[in-house]
Structure 1
Amino acid sequence: MSIGTGTYAYFWRMSERVASPWSLQDALRDTADHGLDLFQICDHQPLSEADDGRLSEIAALATDLGITLELGTRGLAEDHLLRYLRIAERLGARLIRSMWTAGDDRPGAVEAERRLRAVLPAFTDAGVTLALETYEQVSTVDLVGLIERIDSPQLGICLDPGNTVANFEQPDEVTRRCAPYVKNWHVKDFDFTRSPGWVGFSYTGVPIGTGRLDYDGIRAAIEPDRRGINQIIEFWLPWQDSPHATVDTEARWTADTIAYLRSKQA
Protein backbone atom coordinates (compact mmCIF):
# COMPACT_ATOMS: atom_id res chain seq x y z
CA MET A 1 0.00 0.00 0.00
CA SER A 2 1.24 3.47 -0.89
CA ILE A 3 0.26 7.02 -0.04
CA GLY A 4 -0.03 9.21 -3.10
CA THR A 5 -1.29 12.52 -4.35
CA GLY A 6 -3.32 13.27 -7.43
CA THR A 7 -4.63 16.09 -9.55
CA TYR A 8 -7.38 16.86 -7.01
CA ALA A 9 -4.69 17.63 -4.43
CA TYR A 10 -3.36 20.25 -6.88
CA PHE A 11 -6.73 21.50 -8.09
CA TRP A 12 -6.10 25.20 -7.49
CA ARG A 13 -2.39 25.15 -8.24
CA MET A 14 -3.22 23.67 -11.67
CA SER A 15 -6.21 25.99 -12.18
CA GLU A 16 -6.43 28.82 -14.71
CA ARG A 17 -7.70 31.02 -11.86
CA VAL A 18 -4.13 31.49 -10.65
CA ALA A 19 -1.56 33.59 -12.44
CA SER A 20 0.94 30.83 -13.19
CA PRO A 21 -0.87 27.50 -13.06
CA TRP A 22 1.19 24.42 -12.47
CA SER A 23 1.61 21.80 -15.15
CA LEU A 24 1.19 18.08 -14.60
CA GLN A 25 4.99 17.88 -14.52
CA ASP A 26 5.09 20.43 -11.68
CA ALA A 27 2.62 18.37 -9.65
CA LEU A 28 4.63 15.19 -10.24
CA ARG A 29 7.84 16.87 -9.15
CA ASP A 30 6.20 18.29 -6.02
CA THR A 31 4.90 14.83 -5.16
CA ALA A 32 8.41 13.44 -5.44
CA ASP A 33 9.74 16.33 -3.35
CA HIS A 34 7.38 15.19 -0.59
CA GLY A 35 8.97 11.75 -0.73
CA LEU A 36 5.95 10.05 -2.28
CA ASP A 37 6.04 7.52 -5.11
CA LEU A 38 2.42 7.49 -6.34
CA PHE A 39 0.32 9.95 -8.34
CA GLN A 40 -3.21 9.60 -9.73
CA ILE A 41 -3.88 11.64 -12.88
CA CYS A 42 -7.61 12.05 -12.36
CA ASP A 43 -10.13 13.88 -14.58
CA HIS A 44 -7.28 15.64 -16.38
CA GLN A 45 -8.65 16.41 -19.84
CA PRO A 46 -5.28 16.94 -21.56
CA LEU A 47 -4.47 13.30 -20.86
CA SER A 48 -7.43 12.17 -22.98
CA GLU A 49 -6.07 14.19 -25.88
CA ALA A 50 -2.38 13.31 -25.46
CA ASP A 51 -0.59 11.69 -28.36
CA ASP A 52 1.98 8.93 -27.98
CA GLY A 53 4.83 11.40 -27.76
CA ARG A 54 3.23 13.28 -24.89
CA LEU A 55 2.42 10.03 -23.08
CA SER A 56 6.03 8.94 -23.45
CA GLU A 57 7.19 12.22 -21.89
CA ILE A 58 4.88 11.75 -18.90
CA ALA A 59 5.96 8.14 -18.46
CA ALA A 60 9.64 9.08 -18.65
CA LEU A 61 9.31 11.82 -16.05
CA ALA A 62 7.40 9.55 -13.68
CA THR A 63 10.07 6.89 -14.06
CA ASP A 64 12.85 9.42 -13.43
CA LEU A 65 11.06 10.59 -10.27
CA GLY A 66 10.35 7.07 -9.06
CA ILE A 67 6.60 7.63 -9.25
CA THR A 68 3.99 5.02 -10.12
CA LEU A 69 0.98 6.41 -11.95
CA GLU A 70 -2.73 5.69 -11.64
CA LEU A 71 -5.42 7.16 -13.86
CA GLY A 72 -8.90 8.57 -13.32
CA THR A 73 -11.71 9.27 -15.73
CA ARG A 74 -15.52 9.23 -15.82
CA GLY A 75 -18.16 7.13 -17.50
CA LEU A 76 -18.64 3.59 -18.77
CA ALA A 77 -18.62 4.11 -22.53
CA GLU A 78 -16.75 1.15 -23.97
CA ASP A 79 -14.58 3.08 -26.42
CA HIS A 80 -13.67 5.60 -23.73
CA LEU A 81 -12.65 2.95 -21.20
CA LEU A 82 -10.60 1.11 -23.81
CA ARG A 83 -8.92 4.40 -24.78
CA TYR A 84 -7.95 4.91 -21.14
CA LEU A 85 -6.74 1.33 -20.94
CA ARG A 86 -4.37 2.04 -23.81
CA ILE A 87 -3.18 5.20 -22.02
CA ALA A 88 -2.68 3.18 -18.84
CA GLU A 89 -0.54 0.67 -20.69
CA ARG A 90 1.62 3.46 -22.12
CA LEU A 91 2.07 5.00 -18.67
CA GLY A 92 2.56 1.76 -16.77
CA ALA A 93 -0.57 2.40 -14.69
CA ARG A 94 -2.27 -0.58 -13.09
CA LEU A 95 -5.46 1.12 -11.90
CA ILE A 96 -8.08 3.32 -13.56
CA ARG A 97 -10.73 5.00 -11.46
CA SER A 98 -13.99 5.73 -13.24
CA MET A 99 -17.61 6.52 -12.40
CA TRP A 100 -20.90 4.93 -13.32
CA THR A 101 -22.12 8.36 -14.36
CA ALA A 102 -20.59 10.98 -16.63
CA GLY A 103 -22.58 14.05 -17.61
CA ASP A 104 -25.80 13.00 -19.29
CA ASP A 105 -24.62 9.42 -19.77
CA ARG A 106 -25.93 7.41 -16.83
CA PRO A 107 -26.76 3.93 -18.11
CA GLY A 108 -29.15 1.74 -16.18
CA ALA A 109 -27.89 -1.28 -14.31
CA VAL A 110 -28.42 -3.69 -17.22
CA GLU A 111 -26.58 -1.47 -19.71
CA ALA A 112 -23.80 -0.67 -17.22
CA GLU A 113 -23.25 -4.38 -16.67
CA ARG A 114 -23.21 -5.05 -20.41
CA ARG A 115 -20.61 -2.35 -21.03
CA LEU A 116 -18.36 -3.51 -18.23
CA ARG A 117 -18.54 -7.15 -19.28
CA ALA A 118 -17.57 -6.07 -22.79
CA VAL A 119 -14.36 -4.30 -21.71
CA LEU A 120 -13.22 -6.31 -18.70
CA PRO A 121 -11.51 -9.08 -20.72
CA ALA A 122 -9.15 -6.43 -22.11
CA PHE A 123 -8.51 -5.10 -18.60
CA THR A 124 -7.79 -8.63 -17.40
CA ASP A 125 -5.35 -9.26 -20.24
CA ALA A 126 -3.55 -5.99 -19.44
CA GLY A 127 -3.50 -6.59 -15.67
CA VAL A 128 -5.26 -3.27 -15.05
CA THR A 129 -7.93 -2.79 -12.38
CA LEU A 130 -11.03 -0.68 -12.95
CA ALA A 131 -12.31 0.96 -9.74
CA LEU A 132 -15.72 2.67 -9.79
CA GLU A 133 -16.00 5.55 -7.35
CA THR A 134 -18.71 5.93 -4.75
CA TYR A 135 -20.73 8.93 -5.83
CA GLU A 136 -24.08 10.47 -5.02
CA GLN A 137 -25.71 9.87 -8.41
CA VAL A 138 -25.63 6.09 -7.94
CA SER A 139 -26.52 4.50 -4.63
CA THR A 140 -23.93 2.35 -2.94
CA VAL A 141 -26.42 -0.53 -2.91
CA ASP A 142 -26.66 -0.35 -6.70
CA LEU A 143 -22.90 0.04 -7.13
CA VAL A 144 -22.09 -2.94 -4.93
CA GLY A 145 -24.81 -4.98 -6.64
CA LEU A 146 -23.19 -4.29 -10.01
CA ILE A 147 -19.75 -5.31 -8.72
CA GLU A 148 -21.13 -8.50 -7.18
CA ARG A 149 -23.01 -9.57 -10.31
CA ILE A 150 -19.98 -9.18 -12.55
CA ASP A 151 -17.65 -10.76 -9.96
CA SER A 152 -14.34 -9.94 -11.64
CA PRO A 153 -11.03 -9.49 -9.79
CA GLN A 154 -10.28 -6.61 -12.16
CA LEU A 155 -13.37 -4.66 -11.10
CA GLY A 156 -13.86 -2.98 -7.74
CA ILE A 157 -14.59 0.25 -5.92
CA CYS A 158 -12.76 3.51 -5.40
CA LEU A 159 -13.92 4.45 -1.91
CA ASP A 160 -14.78 8.09 -1.23
CA PRO A 161 -17.54 8.14 1.40
CA GLY A 162 -17.59 11.93 1.50
CA ASN A 163 -19.28 12.01 -1.91
CA THR A 164 -22.26 9.90 -0.91
CA VAL A 165 -23.50 12.24 1.83
CA ALA A 166 -25.33 14.18 -0.90
CA ASN A 167 -27.43 11.03 -1.45
CA PHE A 168 -28.21 10.80 2.29
CA GLU A 169 -25.85 7.87 2.72
CA GLN A 170 -23.84 7.78 5.93
CA PRO A 171 -20.07 7.43 5.35
CA ASP A 172 -19.72 4.56 7.84
CA GLU A 173 -22.52 2.61 6.13
CA VAL A 174 -20.95 3.21 2.73
CA THR A 175 -17.58 2.03 3.99
CA ARG A 176 -19.04 -1.12 5.56
CA ARG A 177 -20.98 -2.02 2.41
CA CYS A 178 -18.09 -1.35 0.04
CA ALA A 179 -15.22 -2.71 2.15
CA PRO A 180 -14.86 -6.14 0.51
CA TYR A 181 -14.59 -4.58 -2.96
CA VAL A 182 -12.36 -1.55 -2.35
CA LYS A 183 -9.39 -1.27 -4.71
CA ASN A 184 -8.51 2.41 -4.18
CA TRP A 185 -9.18 5.01 -1.49
CA HIS A 186 -9.61 8.76 -2.01
CA VAL A 187 -8.71 10.38 1.31
CA LYS A 188 -10.18 13.80 2.05
CA ASP A 189 -11.76 15.29 5.15
CA PHE A 190 -15.07 17.14 5.04
CA ASP A 191 -17.56 18.87 7.28
CA PHE A 192 -20.70 21.00 7.44
CA THR A 193 -20.66 24.66 8.44
CA ARG A 194 -23.55 27.07 8.79
CA SER A 195 -23.95 29.40 5.84
CA PRO A 196 -23.79 33.16 6.52
CA GLY A 197 -26.96 34.31 8.24
CA TRP A 198 -27.51 30.80 9.61
CA VAL A 199 -29.70 29.82 6.66
CA GLY A 200 -28.61 26.40 5.45
CA PHE A 201 -25.23 24.71 5.45
CA SER A 202 -22.08 24.50 3.37
CA TYR A 203 -20.52 21.06 2.88
CA THR A 204 -16.85 21.47 2.04
CA GLY A 205 -13.40 20.12 2.64
CA VAL A 206 -11.54 20.82 5.86
CA PRO A 207 -7.99 20.12 7.06
CA ILE A 208 -7.36 16.43 7.63
CA GLY A 209 -8.32 15.24 11.10
CA THR A 210 -10.66 18.15 11.83
CA GLY A 211 -13.87 17.03 10.12
CA ARG A 212 -16.22 14.09 9.69
CA LEU A 213 -13.79 11.68 8.06
CA ASP A 214 -13.46 8.61 10.29
CA TYR A 215 -10.00 7.80 9.01
CA ASP A 216 -9.22 5.20 11.65
CA GLY A 217 -12.58 3.50 11.18
CA ILE A 218 -12.18 3.29 7.41
CA ARG A 219 -8.64 2.04 7.75
CA ALA A 220 -9.77 -0.72 10.10
CA ALA A 221 -12.62 -1.69 7.77
CA ILE A 222 -10.69 -1.94 4.49
CA GLU A 223 -7.20 -2.89 5.83
CA PRO A 224 -5.22 -1.06 3.14
CA ASP A 225 -1.83 -2.32 4.27
CA ARG A 226 -2.81 -5.99 4.13
CA ARG A 227 -4.78 -5.68 0.90
CA GLY A 228 -2.46 -3.31 -0.97
CA ILE A 229 -5.03 -0.53 -1.30
CA ASN A 230 -3.42 2.78 -2.23
CA GLN A 231 -4.50 6.01 -0.53
CA ILE A 232 -4.84 9.00 -2.85
CA ILE A 233 -4.89 12.43 -1.21
CA GLU A 234 -7.41 14.93 -2.52
CA PHE A 235 -9.26 17.99 -1.24
CA TRP A 236 -12.48 19.94 -1.41
CA LEU A 237 -10.69 23.18 -0.67
CA PRO A 238 -12.95 26.25 -1.05
CA TRP A 239 -11.50 29.31 -2.75
CA GLN A 240 -9.82 31.52 -0.18
CA ASP A 241 -9.55 35.31 -0.19
CA SER A 242 -7.06 35.46 -3.05
CA PRO A 243 -5.16 33.22 -5.47
CA HIS A 244 -2.09 33.48 -3.25
CA ALA A 245 -3.98 32.47 -0.13
CA THR A 246 -5.68 29.62 -1.96
CA VAL A 247 -2.55 28.01 -3.35
CA ASP A 248 -0.71 28.50 -0.06
CA THR A 249 -3.55 26.78 1.79
CA GLU A 250 -3.58 23.93 -0.71
CA ALA A 251 0.17 23.45 -0.31
CA ARG A 252 -0.20 23.42 3.47
CA TRP A 253 -3.06 20.93 3.33
CA THR A 254 -0.91 18.70 1.11
CA ALA A 255 2.01 18.68 3.52
CA ASP A 256 -0.23 18.25 6.58
CA THR A 257 -2.19 15.39 5.02
CA ILE A 258 0.97 13.54 4.05
CA ALA A 259 2.28 13.90 7.61
CA TYR A 260 -1.08 12.76 9.03
CA LEU A 261 -1.24 9.63 6.88
CA ARG A 262 2.38 8.77 7.61
CA SER A 263 1.71 9.08 11.33
CA LYS A 264 -1.04 6.47 10.98
CA GLN A 265 1.44 4.05 9.44
CA ALA A 266 3.94 4.33 12.27
Structure 2
Amino acid sequence: MVQLAFSTNAYTRFELPEAVRHIADHGYKGVELLADTPHAFLPEFDDGDQKKLKAVLDETGLAVSNINANTARGYYDDAPASSFFDPTIITADDENRAWRIEYTKSAIDLAVEVDAPSVCIATGRPLPGNPPEQAKKYLLDSLHEILNYAETREVTVGIEFEPELLVECTDEVLMLIEEIGHDSLGVNLDIGHAAVYGENPVESIHKCAGYITGVHLEDIVGGHRGKHYHRIPGEGDLDFKAIFAALNDINYTGFATLELYTYPDAPDKAAEKAYEELKPNVS
Protein backbone atom coordinates (compact mmCIF):
# COMPACT_ATOMS: atom_id res chain seq x y z
CA MET A 1 0.00 0.00 0.00
CA VAL A 2 1.24 3.47 -0.87
CA GLN A 3 1.95 5.75 2.09
CA LEU A 4 1.85 9.55 2.19
CA ALA A 5 4.82 11.80 2.84
CA PHE A 6 5.20 15.57 2.74
CA SER A 7 8.18 17.58 1.54
CA THR A 8 9.85 20.11 3.78
CA ASN A 9 10.13 22.44 0.80
CA ALA A 10 6.74 23.86 1.80
CA TYR A 11 8.20 24.81 5.20
CA THR A 12 11.05 27.07 4.10
CA ARG A 13 10.18 29.61 6.80
CA PHE A 14 10.90 27.01 9.47
CA GLU A 15 14.11 25.39 10.63
CA LEU A 16 14.36 21.79 9.43
CA PRO A 17 13.65 20.02 12.78
CA GLU A 18 10.56 22.17 13.32
CA ALA A 19 9.37 21.49 9.76
CA VAL A 20 9.63 17.75 10.43
CA ARG A 21 7.57 18.11 13.62
CA HIS A 22 4.85 20.04 11.82
CA ILE A 23 4.62 17.39 9.11
CA ALA A 24 4.34 14.62 11.70
CA ASP A 25 1.51 16.51 13.42
CA HIS A 26 -0.61 16.20 10.27
CA GLY A 27 -0.55 12.40 10.18
CA TYR A 28 2.02 11.73 7.46
CA LYS A 29 4.16 8.62 7.69
CA GLY A 30 7.10 10.07 5.80
CA VAL A 31 8.99 13.28 5.17
CA GLU A 32 11.02 14.33 2.16
CA LEU A 33 14.07 16.43 3.02
CA LEU A 34 14.96 19.49 0.96
CA ALA A 35 18.70 19.25 0.27
CA ASP A 36 19.03 22.99 -0.21
CA THR A 37 18.79 26.24 1.67
CA PRO A 38 17.25 26.84 4.18
CA HIS A 39 17.06 23.19 5.31
CA ALA A 40 19.98 20.99 4.31
CA PHE A 41 22.33 22.89 2.02
CA LEU A 42 24.94 20.18 2.17
CA PRO A 43 28.25 22.11 2.28
CA GLU A 44 26.93 23.79 5.44
CA PHE A 45 24.94 20.88 6.89
CA ASP A 46 27.37 19.64 9.52
CA ASP A 47 27.47 16.80 12.04
CA GLY A 48 25.53 18.86 14.56
CA ASP A 49 22.75 19.46 12.06
CA GLN A 50 22.65 15.75 11.26
CA LYS A 51 22.34 14.87 14.94
CA LYS A 52 19.41 17.27 15.34
CA LEU A 53 17.75 15.82 12.25
CA LYS A 54 18.18 12.23 13.41
CA ALA A 55 16.84 13.15 16.85
CA VAL A 56 13.66 14.68 15.45
CA LEU A 57 13.15 11.74 13.09
CA ASP A 58 13.43 9.39 16.09
CA GLU A 59 11.11 11.64 18.09
CA THR A 60 8.39 11.75 15.42
CA GLY A 61 8.83 8.26 14.00
CA LEU A 62 8.77 9.61 10.44
CA ALA A 63 10.58 7.74 7.71
CA VAL A 64 12.48 9.74 5.11
CA SER A 65 10.82 9.18 1.75
CA ASN A 66 13.48 10.86 -0.38
CA ILE A 67 16.28 13.41 -0.42
CA ASN A 68 15.18 16.18 -2.77
CA ALA A 69 18.36 17.39 -4.46
CA ASN A 70 16.60 18.97 -7.45
CA THR A 71 17.84 22.44 -6.54
CA ALA A 72 21.01 23.91 -5.08
CA ARG A 73 20.22 27.59 -4.79
CA GLY A 74 22.46 27.84 -1.75
CA TYR A 75 25.39 27.77 -4.19
CA TYR A 76 24.71 31.43 -4.99
CA ASP A 77 24.83 34.40 -2.68
CA ASP A 78 22.27 36.24 -4.79
CA ALA A 79 20.35 33.63 -6.79
CA PRO A 80 17.44 35.17 -8.70
CA ALA A 81 13.99 33.84 -7.89
CA SER A 82 13.87 31.97 -11.21
CA SER A 83 17.19 30.18 -10.70
CA PHE A 84 15.70 26.90 -9.48
CA PHE A 85 18.14 24.33 -10.78
CA ASP A 86 21.54 25.84 -11.52
CA PRO A 87 24.29 24.84 -11.31
CA THR A 88 23.17 21.55 -12.84
CA ILE A 89 24.73 18.27 -13.89
CA ILE A 90 24.45 19.46 -17.52
CA THR A 91 25.89 22.96 -17.10
CA ALA A 92 28.62 23.80 -19.61
CA ASP A 93 30.96 25.19 -16.97
CA ASP A 94 33.25 22.31 -15.97
CA GLU A 95 33.91 23.59 -12.47
CA ASN A 96 30.24 24.23 -11.70
CA ARG A 97 29.23 20.86 -13.14
CA ALA A 98 31.85 19.07 -11.05
CA TRP A 99 30.57 20.91 -7.97
CA ARG A 100 27.03 19.72 -8.65
CA ILE A 101 28.17 16.13 -9.12
CA GLU A 102 29.90 16.24 -5.73
CA TYR A 103 26.83 17.89 -4.23
CA THR A 104 24.69 15.01 -5.44
CA LYS A 105 27.13 12.55 -3.91
CA SER A 106 26.72 14.41 -0.61
CA ALA A 107 22.95 14.05 -0.95
CA ILE A 108 23.50 10.31 -1.37
CA ASP A 109 25.59 10.31 1.82
CA LEU A 110 22.75 12.09 3.65
CA ALA A 111 20.32 9.47 2.35
CA VAL A 112 22.48 6.77 3.93
CA GLU A 113 22.60 8.65 7.25
CA VAL A 114 18.81 8.97 7.50
CA ASP A 115 17.94 5.64 5.84
CA ALA A 116 16.28 7.24 2.81
CA PRO A 117 15.95 4.88 -0.16
CA SER A 118 16.52 7.48 -2.85
CA VAL A 119 17.74 10.87 -3.99
CA CYS A 120 15.98 12.81 -6.73
CA ILE A 121 17.64 15.21 -9.11
CA ALA A 122 16.49 17.20 -12.14
CA THR A 123 18.53 17.66 -15.29
CA GLY A 124 18.08 21.41 -15.52
CA ARG A 125 17.67 23.48 -18.67
CA PRO A 126 20.05 23.65 -21.64
CA LEU A 127 21.01 27.32 -21.29
CA PRO A 128 22.37 29.59 -24.05
CA GLY A 129 25.70 28.30 -25.33
CA ASN A 130 24.88 24.75 -24.27
CA PRO A 131 22.70 23.14 -26.96
CA PRO A 132 20.76 19.99 -26.07
CA GLU A 133 23.11 17.57 -27.84
CA GLN A 134 26.08 18.90 -25.86
CA ALA A 135 24.06 19.02 -22.63
CA LYS A 136 23.13 15.37 -23.18
CA LYS A 137 26.79 14.38 -23.23
CA TYR A 138 27.35 16.21 -19.97
CA LEU A 139 24.29 14.48 -18.52
CA LEU A 140 25.52 10.99 -19.38
CA ASP A 141 29.02 11.64 -18.03
CA SER A 142 27.64 13.17 -14.83
CA LEU A 143 25.19 10.35 -14.23
CA HIS A 144 27.75 7.61 -14.71
CA GLU A 145 29.90 9.18 -11.99
CA ILE A 146 26.94 9.77 -9.67
CA LEU A 147 25.49 6.30 -10.16
CA ASN A 148 28.80 4.53 -9.65
CA TYR A 149 28.94 6.27 -6.29
CA ALA A 150 25.26 5.62 -5.48
CA GLU A 151 25.73 1.91 -6.04
CA THR A 152 28.51 1.75 -3.45
CA ARG A 153 26.09 3.35 -0.98
CA GLU A 154 23.06 1.24 -2.00
CA VAL A 155 20.94 4.30 -2.81
CA THR A 156 18.82 4.79 -5.92
CA VAL A 157 18.73 8.01 -7.92
CA GLY A 158 15.53 9.23 -9.53
CA ILE A 159 15.50 11.69 -12.42
CA GLU A 160 12.57 14.06 -12.07
CA PHE A 161 11.43 15.14 -15.51
CA GLU A 162 9.76 18.48 -16.05
CA PRO A 163 8.58 20.48 -19.08
CA GLU A 164 11.33 22.75 -20.50
CA LEU A 165 14.14 20.76 -18.89
CA LEU A 166 16.54 18.59 -20.89
CA VAL A 167 14.53 15.55 -19.79
CA GLU A 168 10.93 16.71 -19.77
CA CYS A 169 8.56 13.74 -20.17
CA THR A 170 7.99 10.05 -19.46
CA ASP A 171 9.37 8.69 -22.73
CA GLU A 172 12.55 10.76 -22.45
CA VAL A 173 13.32 9.63 -18.91
CA LEU A 174 12.71 5.98 -19.82
CA MET A 175 15.01 6.29 -22.84
CA LEU A 176 17.66 7.82 -20.57
CA ILE A 177 17.34 4.95 -18.08
CA GLU A 178 17.77 2.42 -20.87
CA GLU A 179 20.73 4.29 -22.34
CA ILE A 180 22.57 4.80 -19.07
CA GLY A 181 22.42 1.07 -18.18
CA HIS A 182 22.58 1.40 -14.38
CA ASP A 183 20.03 -0.40 -12.21
CA SER A 184 20.39 2.37 -9.64
CA LEU A 185 18.79 4.96 -11.97
CA GLY A 186 15.03 5.39 -12.02
CA VAL A 187 12.41 8.08 -12.20
CA ASN A 188 11.10 10.29 -9.43
CA LEU A 189 7.66 10.55 -11.01
CA ASP A 190 6.05 13.94 -10.50
CA ILE A 191 2.41 13.39 -11.44
CA GLY A 192 1.74 17.06 -12.05
CA HIS A 193 4.71 17.37 -14.40
CA ALA A 194 3.35 14.54 -16.51
CA ALA A 195 -0.03 16.28 -16.68
CA VAL A 196 1.43 19.69 -17.55
CA TYR A 197 3.42 18.13 -20.38
CA GLY A 198 0.16 16.77 -21.77
CA GLU A 199 0.49 13.17 -20.65
CA ASN A 200 -2.14 11.10 -18.91
CA PRO A 201 -0.70 10.53 -15.40
CA VAL A 202 -2.22 7.06 -15.21
CA GLU A 203 -0.52 6.06 -18.46
CA SER A 204 2.74 7.58 -17.24
CA ILE A 205 2.56 5.50 -14.05
CA HIS A 206 2.04 2.30 -16.02
CA LYS A 207 4.90 3.12 -18.40
CA CYS A 208 7.24 3.72 -15.46
CA ALA A 209 6.36 0.50 -13.65
CA GLY A 210 9.49 -1.02 -12.14
CA TYR A 211 11.50 2.20 -12.46
CA ILE A 212 9.83 4.49 -9.93
CA THR A 213 12.13 5.55 -7.09
CA GLY A 214 9.55 7.95 -5.65
CA VAL A 215 6.40 9.89 -6.47
CA HIS A 216 5.65 13.59 -6.16
CA LEU A 217 2.03 14.72 -5.91
CA GLU A 218 0.32 18.05 -6.45
CA ASP A 219 -2.85 19.13 -8.18
CA ILE A 220 -2.93 21.03 -11.48
CA VAL A 221 -5.64 23.36 -12.71
CA GLY A 222 -6.52 22.47 -16.28
CA GLY A 223 -5.34 18.87 -15.94
CA HIS A 224 -3.47 17.77 -19.06
CA ARG A 225 -1.67 20.78 -20.55
CA GLY A 226 -2.61 22.82 -17.50
CA LYS A 227 -0.39 25.50 -16.02
CA HIS A 228 2.59 24.39 -13.97
CA TYR A 229 1.58 25.58 -10.52
CA HIS A 230 1.50 23.15 -7.62
CA ARG A 231 -1.87 23.17 -5.87
CA ILE A 232 -3.38 21.29 -2.95
CA PRO A 233 -5.10 18.08 -4.10
CA GLY A 234 -8.79 18.79 -4.62
CA GLU A 235 -8.14 22.32 -5.84
CA GLY A 236 -7.25 21.30 -9.40
CA ASP A 237 -8.42 18.81 -11.97
CA LEU A 238 -6.31 15.67 -11.46
CA ASP A 239 -8.07 12.40 -10.68
CA PHE A 240 -6.24 11.15 -7.61
CA LYS A 241 -8.47 8.12 -7.18
CA ALA A 242 -7.33 6.92 -10.62
CA ILE A 243 -3.72 7.88 -9.84
CA PHE A 244 -3.60 5.81 -6.65
CA ALA A 245 -5.39 2.94 -8.36
CA ALA A 246 -2.67 2.97 -11.02
CA LEU A 247 0.07 2.94 -8.38
CA ASN A 248 -1.61 -0.06 -6.78
CA ASP A 249 -1.97 -1.73 -10.18
CA ILE A 250 1.82 -1.67 -10.68
CA ASN A 251 2.42 -2.80 -7.08
CA TYR A 252 4.18 0.40 -6.09
CA THR A 253 4.59 0.31 -2.31
CA GLY A 254 6.79 3.33 -1.71
CA PHE A 255 5.88 6.84 -0.62
CA ALA A 256 3.82 9.37 -2.50
CA THR A 257 5.18 12.73 -1.39
CA LEU A 258 3.18 15.94 -1.47
CA GLU A 259 5.35 18.67 -2.96
CA LEU A 260 3.60 21.95 -2.19
CA TYR A 261 6.44 24.48 -2.12
CA THR A 262 3.95 27.02 -3.50
CA TYR A 263 2.44 27.42 -0.01
CA PRO A 264 5.26 28.92 2.11
CA ASP A 265 2.77 31.30 3.77
CA ALA A 266 0.46 28.50 4.88
CA PRO A 267 2.27 25.14 4.87
CA ASP A 268 0.23 23.71 7.75
CA LYS A 269 -3.02 24.45 5.93
CA ALA A 270 -1.65 22.85 2.76
CA ALA A 271 -0.40 19.78 4.63
CA GLU A 272 -3.68 19.32 6.51
CA LYS A 273 -5.95 19.77 3.49
CA ALA A 274 -3.81 17.53 1.28
CA TYR A 275 -3.80 14.76 3.87
CA GLU A 276 -7.56 14.88 4.37
CA GLU A 277 -8.12 14.84 0.60
CA LEU A 278 -5.83 11.90 -0.09
CA LYS A 279 -6.26 9.82 3.08
CA PRO A 280 -9.14 7.73 1.64
CA ASN A 281 -6.77 6.53 -1.10
CA VAL A 282 -4.25 5.06 1.32
CA SER A 283 -6.41 3.82 4.21
- Which SS does the other structure have where 2:229 is aligned? strand
- Which SS does the other structure have where 1:64 is aligned? helix
The answer to whether the aligner puts 1:72 opposite 2:101 as a matched pair is no
How far apart in 2 are the matches of 1:225 and 1:265? 15
- Which SS does the other structure have where 1:184 is aligned? strand
* Residue equivalent to 1:60: 55
How far apart in 1 are the matches of 2:145 and 2:10? 33
How many residues get paired?
242
- Which SS does the other structure have where 1:92 is aligned? coil
Q: Deviations over 1:46-65 (max 9, x none)?
A: 41221122112212221222
The answer to whether the aligner puts 1:223 opposite 2:219 as a matched pair is no
Q: Cα distance 1:222–1:108, how it changes in 2: closer, same or farther (>3 A)? A: farther
Contact 2:206–2:250 (CA<8 Å) still a contact in 1? no
* Residue equivalent to 1:139: 168
Q: Cα distance 1:223–1:124, how it changes in 2: closer, same or farther (>3 A)? A: farther
Contact 1:187–1:234 (CA<8 Å) still a contact in 2? yes
Q: Cα distance 1:260–1:153, how it changes in 2: closer, same or farther (>3 A)? A: farther
Q: Deviations over 1:100-145 (max 9, x none)?
A: 1169588633331222122213212212111111211123232221
2:67 alignment partner AA: L
The answer to whether the aligner puts 1:182 opposite 2:207 as a matched pair is no
The answer to whether the aligner puts 1:109 opposite 2:136 as a matched pair is yes
How far apart in 2 are the matches of 1:52 and 1:167? 40
User: Alignment RMSD, CA only?
Assistant: 2.9
* Residue equivalent to 1:232: 257
Contact 1:185–1:230 (CA<8 Å) still a contact in 2? yes
* Residue equivalent to 1:37: 29
- Which SS does the other structure have where 2:28 is aligned? coil
How far apart in 2 are the matches of 1:6 and 1:57? 18
Mind listing any 5+ residue stretches in structure 2 that lack a counterpart?
Answer: 71-87, 90-99
Q: How far apart are 1:253 and its partner, in Å?
A: 2.6
Q: How far apart are 1:211 and its partner, in Å?
A: 1.6
1:213 alignment partner AA: L
The answer to whether the aligner puts 1:6 opposite 2:7 as a matched pair is yes
1:85 alignment partner AA: I
Contact 1:59–1:91 (CA<8 Å) still a contact in 2? yes
Task: From 120, 130, 148, give the equivalent of 1:97.
Answer: 120
- Which SS does the other structure have where 1:223 is aligned? helix
How far apart in 1 are the matches of 2:228 and 2:116? 32
TM-score by length of 2: 0.73
The answer to whether the aligner puts 1:261 opposite 2:262 as a matched pair is no
How far apart in 1 are the matches of 2:47 and 2:125? 25
1:182 alignment partner AA: I
TM-score by length of 1: 0.78
* Residue equivalent to 2:18: 26
- Which SS does the other structure have where 1:191 is aligned? coil
How far apart in 1 are the matches of 2:249 and 2:212? 9
The answer to whether the aligner puts 1:128 opposite 2:155 as a matched pair is yes
Q: How far apart are 1:146 and its partner, in Å?
A: 0.7
How far apart in 2 are the matches of 1:211 and 1:205? 9
Contact 2:126–2:135 (CA<8 Å) still a contact in 1? no
How far apart in 2 are the matches of 1:102 and 1:51? 30
